[in-house]
Chain A
Amino acid sequence: MKWLLRFIAGLTVSFIATMIVVVASLITTMFSASEIGVRKFGLFGALFFEPHQQANGATALEIGISNGLPIAMIFVGLLVFYIAVASALERLKLHKERLLRTGQG
């Protein structure tokens, strides 16, 4: 049960963190893309951003995902990192408690 809860918390945290990374890279990619008709990539080629001219002269922005793999890898990496940190913290806490109990702290 404890591991299941930790896993669900990890899923939530890494999902939100991945979304933050995606939005941040989207903004930085937007920053670098100023020429019309040139497709710029961000986040290791995962996101693309392309401003292009429409028939009526207005500028339209095309945003999307060109390759989902880097995003999936970021998500899995964050998940593993979260679970590792959470378990390490839990063990340290248990160790501290044990030391305090035996009077060695």
Chain B
Amino acid sequence: MRLKSVVLLFQLFWLFVVRRVLGRGLLASQTARLSALFLTLAAFAGFNVLSYVVMRQYLGGTGLLEPVLQVSNASVGFWVLIAYTLIRVLFMKADELLKLSFNLPVTNKERTLAFALFESSFVLLMTVFVFGAFSISTVLIEGPDYIPRVLTSIWFPAISTYLLLSLGYYLLERTLLALRIARLRGLVVPMVLALGLAVVFPQTNELSTQIAESYVYGRDYFAPVLLYAKLQKDIGLWLSTLVLLASSAALIPAVVAAAPRNYVPMRRFFVFLPSWLAARKFGVYVLVLFRSFETMVAVSFVIVYSVFAWIQHLVLPPYALALITFQGVYAFSNSEPLRRMVIYPGSTIANYLRLVGSQGVLLVAVGIPITAISTVQGVSFEACLPVAGFCVSNILISTLIGIAFPPEKGNPFTVIIGILLTTIIVMIVGLGLNVFNLDPIISAVIFAALNLLVVFYSILGMQRMERIARHEMAA
């Protein structure tokens, strides 16, 4: 294995993201790109300032930062697992990106490792976004003496957890290869990760409670996940760093050795519904949505979560349903061939209604049993209604993202930018409206109006893309 090829491929993947992802859809214009960059940086800065103000207000000078840091340390594993799951599910679709490297003189192992490096840089960016504000505010409030504590409580465990997760993933892939079911990894891996989240979540909660209790009773608490912080506190930063280096030195070669040598393409579709549905246009849209890989992953996540909530007696409204509504991001591009292969594709408004309607069918089909489970658990039906409103609004917004930032087939990264920008705007609007302390009915009317605006822009965007497509065909 040559390290140079790994680094070169890693650079190629990043170049691909910069050129192909940051220059499409709305981001094609320089002004839009600059505004998006500015908005992201401003949001991160605002997030930092907000976190600093809130922490100074509540924790500054109380001595409570110590146990808070310990609780964060206990939850690092869970957050890294969430980031890893998101990135892993996203990267499952990156076959086309990998194909870029098929005519280059690299081995499968080098390709896998370059991809792992690429993926870890994404996880790092996400972790910086999640823990950056907390780390910076802690150091600003308590002074530079806290830097070693923040390092050993948050960043060292994050690195080790990530390496362990990578090792676990490659071992799982090897097992699937040995069992000859690697083609199904698109389904098996997300299920395993969802199960992992379901197992880790109660443990993290339990650990946090124990840390808080020990602090209240003045006991010293230790758990394996707090190892780096404990070593730093008892002996010094140098020993923690040494342990991190030693464990990484053991884990990285293990990851390299576990990375599989052969590449198996993934199964993309699952056939569930009968084909007679295709007799009607709406039926075709429903089929396209139900058989897609993303739908399968999202539905399996929701099912795993509901079963887990049932077993753990979690009494929560079915917010997990929101997961399946993110399908809207792919709805437009997945059904694009349907509109391209006929001479008259129908009116834009009808096509938009079919797009949104098919997602509504999926939401109802999955929502009924999941809501039934929630109500049996003791959640009142009224508490489930806001979830329905949230899901419908999410379908409309994610369909708009799919139109404004069309995801490329086999290139999942195009979605990230759209989702990131939309989340920032939705959060700012939500926070801004919250300041007004409006009557719930007026708030509902405003949100309904905003959703109508989203529908309007979606139809406008679809019309524009159809016009461009017609001109292309004519030329």
Contacts and interface: CB of A to CB of B under 8 A. Distances in A.
Contacts of B435: 22-23, 26, 47, 63-65
Given A16-B428, A16-B429, A19-B428, A27 B436 contact: no
Given A27-B49, A59-B58, A19 B437 contact: no
B436 A65 contact: yes
Interface string B250-263: 00000000000000
Binding site of A, secondary structure by majority: helix, strand, loop or mixed? helix
B50 interface: yes
Nearest to A47: B435
A20 interface: yes
Given A47-B435, A65-B436, A31 B53 contact: yes
A27 B50 contact: yes
Provide the main secondary structure of the chain B interface. helix
Interface residues on A, range: 20 to 34
B202 interface: no
A53 interface: no
A29 to B, nearest CB: 10
B432 A23 contact: yes
Contacts of B53: 27, 30-31
A15 B425 CA distance: 11
18 contacts: A15-B429, A16-B425, A16-B428, A18-B432, A19-B429, A22-B432, A22-B435, A23-B46, A23-B431, A23-B435, A26-B431, A27-B49, A27-B50, A27-B53, A30-B50, A30-B53, A64-B435, A65-B436
Instruction: Choose among B432, B436, B453, B456 the residue with the greatest number of A CB atoms under 10 Å from its CB.
Output: B432
Interface residues of B, number: 20
A70 to B, nearest CB: 13
Given A27-B46, A63-B435, A64-B437, A8 B456 contact: yes
Contacts of B433: 19
A93 to B, nearest CB: 14
A19 B453 contact: no
Interface of B: 42, 46, 49-50, 53, 57-58, 425, 428-429, 431-433, 435-437, 453, 456-457, 460
Nearest to A5: B460
Contacts of A22: 432, 435
A24 interface: yes
A12 interface: yes
Contact of A12 (B50, B57, B437, B453): B453
Q: Which 5 residue pairs spanning A and B have beta carbons closest together?
A: A19-B432, A22-B432, A30-B53, A19-B429, A19-B428
Contacts of B456: 8
Interface in A38-83: 47, 51, 59, 61, 63-65
Nearest to B433: A19
Nearest to A22: B432
Nearest to B56: A34
A7 to B, nearest CB: 12
B428 A20 contact: yes
Nearest to A18: B432
B57 to A, nearest CB: 7
A61 B437 CA distance: 13
B428 A31 contact: no
A59 B53 CA distance: 13
